[in-house]
Amino acid sequence: MDPNSKRREEYRAKHSSLNLHRNRSLAADATALKSGNMFARFIGVAFLLVICFGVAWAAHMYFMVHSAIDSKGGGNIANSVKISTRQPISVLILGVDQGIEGRHDQGNSDTLILATTNPQKNMATMTSIPRDTLADIKGDPGDKYFMFRVNSAYEVGGSRTSVKTVSSMLNVPINYYVEVNMKALRSLVNAVGGVDVNVPFSFSYDWCDFHKGKQHLNGRHAVAYVRMRKEDPRGDYGRQLRQRQVIQAIAKKAMSVNTISNYRKLVDIFNKYVKTNLSFNDMLSLALNYRGCMNNLKSGYLQGHDAWIDGASIQVASTKELQKTSDKIRKNLNLDTETLDNEETRQNELNDQNNHVKWDNPQAFTNYQIYERDVDKPARGSNSGYGKNPNPQSSSSSSSSSGGWKFQW
């Protein structure tokens, strides 16, 4: 007999008395397979499937939004580092008048709001800048727009020129911009299910009625609410207040759980109507690490003085007002305050010295002049005795030419 076969026979004879069973630790007890346990297993499998689909949906949403936002250009690395390390940042919000009333040209920025957020102080600020504020428009190679309304900066060079102009006027760094055209406002408000605002007084505008007190606005009503100006006793300053109300309400609703199901609409709107240099990761970090700042939000505006310059209605901010606004913004950015020294303050100083303008006089200036760049001599036609508006109640938008110098609005 083969030695190996003999050893196997001896092993079987030696251990024949042992009862060997299959491993029951991995085998279910037949008595346990009752209908109740089967139902529990079914529920467990279904629950796992729901989780898997949820994760897949969340991943799809994440990458879809990521692609939509980053396709806009994204921010620079230095600014992204500020957000990732929870440093204070500033954002210029621009509401442009494209897409409304059939406009398709470059348009102007009817809304300018400079926002800052400081997670170390848990504080945010929103400062409205009136669109008619006199400013040194940066980025204009031919000085055609030297000392124009601040909203014309967008027409000259888009968001980047607006950023440069506001940054210079207030001596503050601006890290980001968010540009929304007015057509998007209607869609954004509808996508988040409408917004609630506290209407300061009753009025009607563009076939929409508004009543004093809390009111829910859909997209069409929201556009009318932020565009009305002439019926507001505070003029453009009242409109700025309403603009800040709607922006805050949209931001609050957009971050709520109830609007996640509408993310596709929001992404589509973002793709069509919003331009920004914020990357997706920047926005995600802001939502996660800066949200506490919204609980301590201080809003205000740059106050200007009415003036008529070469037949056009302008808002001229005093040096004192410019300095106060600059100080407030710089403090929330953890920057030391600095004395303003720019073209706006130079123009004010020359008018103080030569024309004795009285900033505490509520009447509109008719003797405020625009002086040539780097020359303490009035630009020809700038209220030099024959460019004044004889009727201050006439249109605030005009084009006038005299003495060879054209002040164009």
* 173-197: pLDDT as tens digits: 999 999 887 777 888 888 888 999 9
Please tell me whether residues 136 and 262 are part of one structural domain: yes
Q: What is the pLDDT of residues 391-403, one digit of tens each?
A: 433 333 333 333 3
Is the pLDDT higher at 101 or at 268?
268
Sole residue written with tokens 């890290």: 175
Q: Please check the confidence at residue 90 and state whether its pLDDT lies above 70.
A: yes
Is residue 51 in some structural domain? no
Q: Which of 302, 329, 361 is the last residue of a domain?
A: 302
Domain containing residue 238: CATH number: 3.40.630.190
Question: How many domains are contained in the chain?
Answer: 2
Q: Return d(Cα 136, Cα 286) in angstroms, integer.
A: 32
Question: Phi/psi of residue 208, each to 5°?
Answer: -120, 135
Q: Return d(Cα 94, Cα 113) in angstroms, integer.
A: 7
Q: At what angle do helices 263-273 and 35-70 cross, to 10 degrees?
A: 10
Please tell me whether residues 230 and 275 are part of one structural domain: yes
Is residue 232 in some structural domain? yes
Q: Which two tokens stand for residue 72?
A: 């806009």
Q: What is the pLDDT of residue 6?
A: 63
Is residue 326 in some structural domain? no
Q: What is the pLDDT of residue 296?
A: 86
Please tell me whether residues 350 and 219 are part of one structural domain: no
Is the pLDDT higher at 355 or at 280?
355
Please tell me whether residues 350 and 268 are part of one structural domain: no
Model confidence at 96, in pLDDT bands (50, 70, 90)?
confident
Average pLDDT over residues 258-265: 60
Please tell me whether residues 252 and 363 are part of one structural domain: no
Q: What is the pLDDT of residues 150-176, one digit of tens each?
A: 999 998 889 999 999 999 999 999 999
Give the residue numbers spanning the domain of 395. 308-315+339-409
Sole residue written with tokens 């409304």: 100
Q: Return d(Cα 317, Cα 309) in angstroms, integer.
A: 14
Helix (H, G, I), strand (E, B) or coil at 113: strand
List the Cα angle 172/154/325 in 5-degree steps: 25
Closest CA to 117 of 347, 362, 287, 308: 287
Q: What is the pLDDT of residues 37-66, one digit of tens each?
A: 665 665 555 555 555 555 554 555 555 555
Is residue 394 in some structural domain? yes
The partner residues of 135 in beta bridges, in order of sequence, read: 148
Q: Which two tokens stand for residue 143?
A: 């000085």
Q: Which of 280, 302, 324 is the last residue of a domain?
A: 302
Model confidence at 25, in pLDDT bands (50, 70, 90)?
very low
Is the pLDDT higher at 99 or at 91?
91
Please tell me whether residues 349 and 225 are part of one structural domain: no
Closest CA to 132 of 246, 303, 300: 303
Q: What is the pLDDT of residue 61?
A: 53
Helix (H, G, I), strand (E, B) or coil at 330: helix
